[in-house]
Amino acid sequence: MEQSKVTLEIWGWVKSLLIGLAIALFIKIFIFSPYTVQGASMEPTLQNEERLFVNKFTAFTDSFNRGDVIIIKRPEETERYVKRIIGLPGDTIQMDNDQLYVNGEKIEENYLQENRLAAKQQSMKLTEDFGPIEVPTGNYFVMGDNRLVSMDSRNGLGFIEESTIIGKAQFVMMPIKKMRFVEK
């Protein structure tokens, strides 16, 4: 009689652990996942080695917007990239005299103020002129915030297929002193 109580107690703990693991796995695969920033392409918005929570659920709901910071994983590569969406499918993108235009409309990029000042001090443009470029259906045009060093849609990554977007960067969790939401 005593052994069956112990067996039932152990089985109860095993079921609880299995259910907990299944829930954690579901959350990691479909909802949130950690990501570590590698490199300087998103500075000062995101710093090298910061740890992020990535909202993967957005990849299933097609809710990407201009300005979102996303994580990309291309099938032919092992590396992941963190970039900002600049152009949506069907948009026409142009950079003229360090000013972004989307569909002919001037776009303010307040997150670039610090980098623009640094480029100006070096007598450089932060972003070289290009375009107009039309973003194909099912694709996005992305750039890093630190455009002087960023490999992005302008110079190596090309257009980003929607299927390669893992999710949106939502929250910086490490280092703890720099915890914050990722701003658009």
Question: Tell me, what's the pLDDT at 159?
Answer: 93
Selecting among 56, 83, 153, 168, the annotated active-site residue is 83
d(Cα 104, Cα 145) in Å, to the nearest integer?
21
166 contact partners, CB below 8 Å, separation of at least 6: 33, 35, 54, 56, 59, 70, 71, 72, 73, 80
Q: Considering the entire predicted model, what is its pTM?
A: 0.79
Q: Catalytic pick from 41, 56, 153, 168?
A: 41
Is residue 41 part of the annotated active site? The answer reads yes
pLDDT value at residue 32: 67
Torsions phi, psi for 2 (to 5 deg): -65, -40
The continuous run of DSSP H or E covering 184 comes out as none
Q: Which residue numbers in the chain have pLDDT < 70?
A: 1-3, 27-32, 58-62
pLDDT of residue 35: 84
